[in-house]
Amino acid sequence: MTQQIYSLEDADKLLLLNKKELDDVDKSFSLDALRVLASRYLIRNAEGKIIESPKKLFERIAILIGLGDAMHDDLIFKKTEGEPNYVLTQDEVKNILSELPTIDIDGFVLNEYHLEAVARLHQYYAKKGQMSWDLEQTCYCLAINYQYAHNIIDYYNLMVSKDFLPNTPTLMNAGARLGQLSACFVLDVEDNLESIMETAKNTAYIFKSGGGVGINYSKLRAENSMVASTSGVASGPVSFMGIIDKVTDVIKQGGKRRGANMGILDINHPDVEKFITAKKTKGVLENFNVSVGTDERFWNNFKRFPESEDAKEHAKKLFNLIAESAYASAEPGLIFFDNVNKFNPLEKARGEPLRATNPCGEQSLYPFESCNLGSINLANFVKDGDFDWERYRDVIRLCARFLDNVVSMNKYPLPENEQAGAETRRTGLGVMGLADALLKLQVRYDSGPAFHLMSRLAETLSYEAMSESIELARERGPFPLFATSGYIEGLIPVAGAYQFCELGTWYDWQALIEEIKNEGIRNSYCTTVAPTGSLSMIADTSSGIEPSFALAFEKRVAVGSFFYKNVYLKYELQKIGKDTPEMWKRIADNHGSIQGIEEIPAYIRDVFVTTFDINWREHIESQAVWQVWINNAISKTINLPKDASVDDVKNAYLLAHEQGLKGITVYRDGSRHEQVLHA
């Protein structure tokens, strides 16, 4: 018998994955990508040993998502609501599932958690009279629907090819015990002790399931306000945020990582000054991102039509304080709720504007709503110097269907989450790998051609995702709040559909609006650009729509430190005989940039720019180009060099608001006690 000979990297993979042989999926992912998968995503036994391969991980996810299609088959599902079917008790569901024989869809075997998800969705539709069969018959119907094996294969290939990856909880929990697939949730808190403690409890449940939490604390009365019931004084929002901070310390998301929080306070709250400066002190609210929510009234007082001279001076004082704090500590961020709600089709149905976001700020949500995210790897669509637009459109449509199935097959941590998620069916399809795609195309990130490409990428993403959502509405029905939403009046959450776009348009948005009015749309929001930290590491690509942070850098994450050399620069340096340890040390010592290194030809230096080679105005411009077309918002950091001024921060805020951004995070290099990326 011939002994298999492995390279050193393959040997490291075998040890990491606790395997004796590598399969095709193991070989297709880098060692660093597998380290991330092993640390957080692959299932382990009680002794902590990995018992699941990457291939099996992607199979269990693909099966669950494919079941979302199968459960909406005409054989099983009725699009129109009718008389409620018999709804089983939990014990009856358990008995039925325990007595079922092994069920597979043309070789894809359903595990107990797949069947639990089928039962949950069956029960949901049974209450609406939309199931053709009882639960047991439905499960047998799935087994004979062999055509849905093709859907499972499509979803599997989508992930193992690294064309697309869903958000972390889906990778962790799809087809597994927790079953919770959403990245983040928003909760609400009222100004009473019962609500505060209930919110803390709900936050704990969400963290335990693997999700993050965003809360607007503006309903809480100011510090030292009178509390009539006790004749005492209130502690204020910042103190109550400390409760959530402590909850976060002791409960990890899905048992794998510490929870993420977004704390928001409206600009008109009496405690906003304390809130703005809270994180200047090390150790305070360290489990929080914090943002100040601004509205049209504030901006009018600051720069347009002030109510009074006092109002103008107060707005100016707060604006300066925010800028100074962000300059010093990178927080708070700003959320422009006037821009968030400008084209919000749900305000009519919900009876109020959006006023809270997820922890990274890219997804505004109503109380108890969740964000169900996934990202397409743009770098994979560049081949031989061209971008494959036809394949990009096809993948967008498949991903839109994938994320709608995430909403259906999700195991929500709270009943209120399930109800809110079902009512709006909000999804957030985004991208990663933009910087790498531009490098492969030999296009400089902050150039006119790059902005034109970004505009077309963003417009195509939203148009095709929304178009597929219309098709899903034809098959499965529109989201339940559609009939009372702004959609029926022609309002869609796409600014570019109503505003002149200097970079041009590629689609007939008015025709899409009319189609939605006539046919409905399955998902209230369809697109979002998320930060993709772990996902981009798994896909070996650049993060979100960010430029390359550095061309040689150290990234510190929960599983250790990773040292990267940009593969596209490595290829260029090889061609000119400069791919040497000495050259990479020079690049690292130059803050990861090749600017000023004369031995590298100008044609390479002109394309390979990094975060700090790009002016903050171009950072905002790139975010604005995407925001014109994206339904939700954009997670992007506006990076400033260490020697930037407070006035630069102020000007960045003003430009961002005027450009229609929905939020902004300004980060001056070195302003954090700790930072993830180091050149």
DSSP type of residue 280: G
pLDDT at 104 over 60: yes
Q: Is 674 tagged catalytic?
A: no
Give bridge partners of residue 678 from the DSSP assignment: 554
pLDDT of residue 146: 83
Interatomic CA distance for residues 311 and 76, integer angstroms: 61
Position 95 scores a pLDDT of 96
Q: Please, is 405 exposed, middle or buried when counting C-beta atoms within 10 Å of its C-beta (0-12, 13-18, 19+)?
A: buried
Top-confidence residue, 124 or 256: 124
pLDDT value at residue 504:
86
Mean pLDDT of 320-335: 95
- 141 tagged catalytic: no
Number of helical (H) and strand (E) elements in the chain, helices listed first: 27, 22
Active-site option among 52, 116, 331, 362: 362
pLDDT tens, position by position, 159-198: 999 999 999 999 999 999 999 999 999 999 999 989 999 9
Contact 421, 410 (CB under 8 A): yes
The answer on pLDDT for 676 being more than 50 is no
- How far apart are the C-alpha atoms of 38 and 631, rounded to whole Å? 33
Q: What does pLDDT average to over the chain?
A: 93
Pairing state between β 164-166 and 108-109: unpaired
The Cα 146–Cα 11 span in angstroms is 38
Q: pLDDT tens, 453-503?
A: 999 999 999 999 999 999 999 999 999 999 999 999 999 999 999 998 888
Average pLDDT over residues 39-45: 93
Q: Report the pLDDT value the prediction gives residue 1, as an integer from 0 to 100.
A: 46
- Say if residue 556's pLDDT is above 80: no
Which member of 341, 358, 372, 417 is catalytic? 358
- How confident is the model at residue 557, as a pLDDT? 60
Q: Which two tokens stand for residue 620?
A: 């905002």
Average pLDDT for residues 597-621, to the nearest whole number? Answer: 96
Q: What is the pLDDT of residue 232?
A: 63
362 is catalytic: yes
Would you give the distance in Å from CA 465 to the centre of its chain? 16
Measured between alpha carbons, how far is residue 658 from residues 270, 577, 614, 653 in Å? 26, 47, 20, 9
pTM given for the model: 0.95
What ranges do the domains of the chain cover? Answer: 53-160, 184-340, 550-609
- Range among 374-378, 551-555, 636-640 rated most confident: 374-378
| 117 pLDDT above the threshold of 50 | yes
Residue 564 vs residue 334, higher pLDDT: 334
Start-to-end Cα distance in the chain: 48
For the chain, the C-alpha Rg in angstroms (whole number) is 25
Tell me the residue ranges of DSSP E strands in 59-145: 104-105, 108-109
Phi, psi of 439 (to 5 degrees): -65, -40
Place of tokens 């054989």: 75
Neighbours of 317 (CB within 10 A): 11
Share of the chain above pLDDT 70, in %: 94
Inter-residue contact 327 to 649 (CB < 8 Å): yes
For residue 639, give both structure tokens: 């990076």
Question: What confidence score (pLDDT) does residue 143 get?
Answer: 86
Report yes or no: 426 and 371 within 8 Å, Cβ to Cβ. yes
pLDDT digit string, tens, across residues 495-535: 999 998 888 899 999 999 999 999 999 999 999 999 998 99
Q: From the candidates 360, 371, 399, 526, give the one annotated as an active-site residue.
A: 360
* DSSP three-state, residue 527: strand
Q: In this structure, are strands 252-253 and 257-258 parallel, antiparallel, or unpaired?
A: antiparallel
CA dihedral 47, 51, 52, 54 (to 10 degrees): 80
Phi, psi values for residue 377, rounded to 5°: -85, 100
Residue-by-residue DSSP string for 455-499: HHHHHHHHHHHHHHHHHHHHHH---TTGGGSGGGGT--S-GGGTS
pLDDT score, position 671: 81
List, for residues 212-260, the tens digit of each pLDDT value: 999 999 999 998 776 656 656 778 899 999 999 988 888 866 556 667 8
Which pair of structure tokens corresponds to residue 151?
A: 């859907």
β-bridge mates for residue 294, sequence order: 336
Rounded CA gap, 322 and 326, in Å? Answer: 6
Retrieve residue 129's tokens.
Answer: 């009279």
Q: Are strands 663-668 and 637-640 parallel, antiparallel or unpaired?
A: parallel
